Amino acid sequence: MLHISDLRKNSQRIIKLLKVKNFDAKNLINNVIEKDNNRKTLQQKSDELLSQQNQIAKKIGLLYKNGKSEEANDLKNSSIEIKKESQELLNQLNKIEGEIHEILVQIPNIPHESVPFGNSDEDNEILKEFGDKPKISDDSFPHWELAEKYDLIDFKLGNKITGSGFPVFKGKGAKLQRALISFFLDENINAGYQEFLPPSVVNSDSMFGTGALPDKEGQMYHVTNDDLYLIPTAEVPVTNFYRDTIIKEFPIKCTAYTPCFRREAGSYGKDVRGLNRLHQFDKVEIVQIEHPDNSYKTLDNMVDHVSSILNKLELPFRIVKLCGGDLSFTSSLTYDFEVYSAAQDRWLEVSSVSNFESFQSNRLKLRYKDEDGKSKLCHTLNGSALALPRIYAALLENNQYENGIYIPKVLHSYTGFESIT
């Protein structure tokens, strides 16, 4: 959530930058500034009335002390009227503050100045490609057929017990999934991240804190009776560890494995077959809380870290800078990682690494003290290191041979096998 003081100081710059996200913020920003002016006027009147009440209370006390009860009672009646007026002003203040809040939560985060213009993922900027695309035979199989052939994943069973988008991993397929989770966590821990195992269900305050609410309302699974949400990513619980917190030392580096849940309403077609898009999937997340002066250097370090993991998996990948039209509501700058899927002959997104600057921190009341002892907002960053479904899909497709599937060397100690036959 943007801070109203920033909207006042830099309204034209913010309006211009938000156009990169294809968002016209002019009316909302003008409206919120106007309402804030009204709020200030009401606050001034309220403060004046409070001052009057305090003065009258002192006078009443002195009058009673000096035996002037009649005069004191007259002032009491006057004080009652002032209290009524003060309460009315307070009601107006609460109402207008609520209206200001409702406007502020509609305004997305400001994109970084390097974010390119664009309307969709087709306009994203490809920064660099790594590795060679594997050469496979024309009769190679997509991962959903390989999963059935080698009895690794049962999509039909998942559909039977839950529905589409909830696969059942089995045998060596389940062990490969577990191996990837352990490998990702170990890589993150070796890079200085502390491991957590958070809840997979959070309250609405947590969803609001990271920006999922109200922006993603309807796209998440909601336990209505308890007003709890199944998490779409470990970013939500982990970042909320530090809600209403004063940070004393930077950086804070966290990693967590969780199942993730997304409704993905309206998704269908060949691009969502198999593991390409699921309602429940496994993901290992990295989260950092940083000083604003260091957050973009930290973002670069996180990008390098994810790159190193993909290199160890021997997967061809590319790094993409998201254009304004593809950038999320909460992000200032995001780099996507895409691995090449040989049998599908397309690139699959496996990670987004983002800097949210102070957007989440303002919602979370996540602060630090500067050298003068003043409270300042931290910067928050996160990324997938990594999301499993499409990594799994690419490993199966890219490493298939006539009678089996090769497992990358770095995973052998985790799987206990070098190939699937």
* pLDDT score for 70: 77
Q: Which residues of 135-164 are buried (b: 16+ CB within 10 A; e: fewer)?
A: ebeeebbbbbbbbeebebbbbeebeeeeee
In angstroms, the first-to-last Cα distance of the chain is 51
* pLDDT score for 268: 57
| Nearest CA among 228, 217, 313, 201 for reference residue 265 | 217
Q: Which CATH architecture has domain 121-420?
A: 2-Layer Sandwich (3.30)
Domain ranges of the chain: 4-104, 121-420
* pLDDT score for 67: 80
Pairing of strands 252-261, 194-196: parallel
* pLDDT score for 83: 86
Dihedral sign from CA coordinates of 206, 229, 109, 38: negative
Instruction: Please state which CATH class domain 4-104 belongs to.
Output: mainly alpha
* pLDDT score for 382: 98
C-alpha angle with apex 115: 239 to 314, nearest 5 degrees?
A: 70
* pLDDT score for 266: 53
* pLDDT score for 62: 84
What distance in Å separates the CA atoms of residue 82 and residue 94, rounded to the nearest whole number? 18
The residue behind tokens 């090769």 is: 406
* pLDDT score for 80: 82
The answer to whether 221 touches 261, Cβ cutoff 8 Å, is: yes
Q: Residue 222 is which amino acid?
A: H
- Tens place of pLDDT per residue across the chain (421 aa): 999 999 999 999 999 999 999 999 999 999 999 999 999 999 999 999 888 888 888 888 887 778 887 777 777 777 788 888 889 999 999 999 999 999 999 999 999 999 999 999 999 999 999 999 998 888 899 999 999 999 999 999 999 999 999 999 999 999 999 999 999 999 999 999 999 999 999 999 999 999 999 988 889 999 999 999 999 999 999 999 999 999 999 999 999 999 999 998 655 555 789 999 999 999 999 999 999 999 999 999 999 999 999 999 999 999 999 999 999 999 999 999 999 999 999 999 999 999 999 999 999 999 999 999 999 999 999 999 999 999 999 999 999 999 999 999 999 999 999 999 9
